[in-house]
Chains A and B, each alone.
Chain A
């Protein structure tokens, strides 16, 4: 670092400009990571919170299974008897609109992501206020997003069209959502009223149906036989995230933007150090003529690259964290340490790759050129 540090100081203007580009990209990296985690939370935090390992869908539903799949009683019964299956139970999922018909916010329209389950199942929520599905009577447990609208225990919502009344029995003070909509938990029959838009008595056929079979499988359970017998397909919980509306598009868009960002950063760093190395050619020739091994010069140059990248990324990440903290609550944004560490690591790593390609030119410089033009 004898020369690298002195060059950094001497050409600080140029290095500061390049460092600023890397720092700004690091800021963007943090913000995008935060936005990606925030969007993921808004999209699938409700699914993530379910204590299951897999979901079995109708095998004919190949995309957006939560809105297209229907399973029947014999399916979840077959699943619960299959080897390697610790627990299997019906799970209902639908999106619904309702309005507040009793309570302080009377007349308010609300969007609901309805999760239906047996009231005594482990899938059912443990409310922080009011009662649960099993002891509160027929009704719904709302989550924070809907509670924040001013809806509380004892209020009644009425579903659009079917006019099914939904009494709020409990509130779970957590932000859990599905497809950017706050979740309400309810029993399967209420879910069926909402799903099929049917008021009054449910037809017998509807009582036999759910969206999917929620499964807890033992490690390495072989479920091919029961899949075949029931005409269903078990997806891991993580795979089901892709079945929620918009999730795949959102996360691939974010990944694409981030990918481009890192590529741009690597190119900027590579281009800068290419120009820098070319500019330094006469000095490199001189160093070699003085007897500096190529390894000495390369080590020096790479130490400089690393110092610039680490410094700029650290500054940028800190600024991004400050900016991101201010965004929490105002946008779908959440900060996760592993995501930010990955983002910073990629920025440094790919920057090094770009710079290595650039400083490789050092090996090709001929010390003979130090002798000047009179040869």
Chain B
């Protein structure tokens, strides 16, 4: 009975999701050519206003991790989970500068993603293609994380009726079902549904769980302070080295990475104007307040369902939900969590498709005329690949996901420094990237993250920057590139610079 109710609600909302996603492009005609059609699909025709950008960017950055991992970290470690809050807040703040800068650059030159931006900046299509391959390796694990996250949620809220394997497939099918057709615009529309459900359900749980289990906030918080103080300060409970220096370095590097993360940039480029992005840098941090809910519920679960370990602790929040609420409410909360997998998954797949359609396959002259078609095809291939690996070799991508964020961070100098500093050569950017990425791989796969109490990614980034600067100053000069600075750099909108760029004729 319970299972029927919650499964029916879930099924109805999944149908609604696909319909909503497809309705998003009704009445809009993207051409089939290479330019306009791809931009319409990949970055919503650069036409989203402040509200849609807010909804989309909030929608894509609060993934299934917010429901599962945040509660699980809260349950296992306590305070270290606060890093999510810190890096997202700091990232939104510097997004005030970086967002409009990338937006203006991409719009001026008709670019649709970071690989496209890099290919244009260094005037080397092959570099864009190479970065696309690297970024795909970093992004693919995230698709799998969303698929598996959705799987455990759906199987839990259906009281076991829907098996894990079927739940994985539903996640893939629903996402592919709308994103292939409607691209970024469809993701933004589905985000509206997602954000409404997430805000309502988390707001409800924030009130309900303390009342139901502890008789109110006062007793709940008193009990945590009295019985679990270890969880309430750094380094947290049995966290294995996640102390203050880890928190600081992780926040710094993640806040720099999140602003150039390909999915974030897709959101930036979808904006109608730069001011929509500046306003969002102001409004988006409010969404972070919601992250406190799963963190606190993770702590609450310590008292209600003690003894969860490993992957089980990720279900800390859902154990409370299933234990204390009627089936229809379980179904609705499950839908909110499932959409928290679907929306980010859609944007991840979209971004991979765009990178390949534009920078890899689009760089081949014979294929360049059908970039949108290639992009859509790659979306299906990437999603199917992630799904297939989830079934056959689940640990492969999990292992890769360890380097996803710290690896992506190594693109920061090539992209951001490159856009404001003309002298930075392609040789320097590539050397820095290679050195940083290799070091991160060695440290992470060697089991040295954190190393000396700091995030391994920031060690890689430091080496990356040093190599980049050294090769720029000492290495080979760039071949004659006679384009004016305004063509190469993100001069205008808007980066704080002391003086003007070198080489600009006065």
Question: A and B: real partners?
Answer: no
User: Interface of B with A (CB < 8 Å)?
Assistant: none
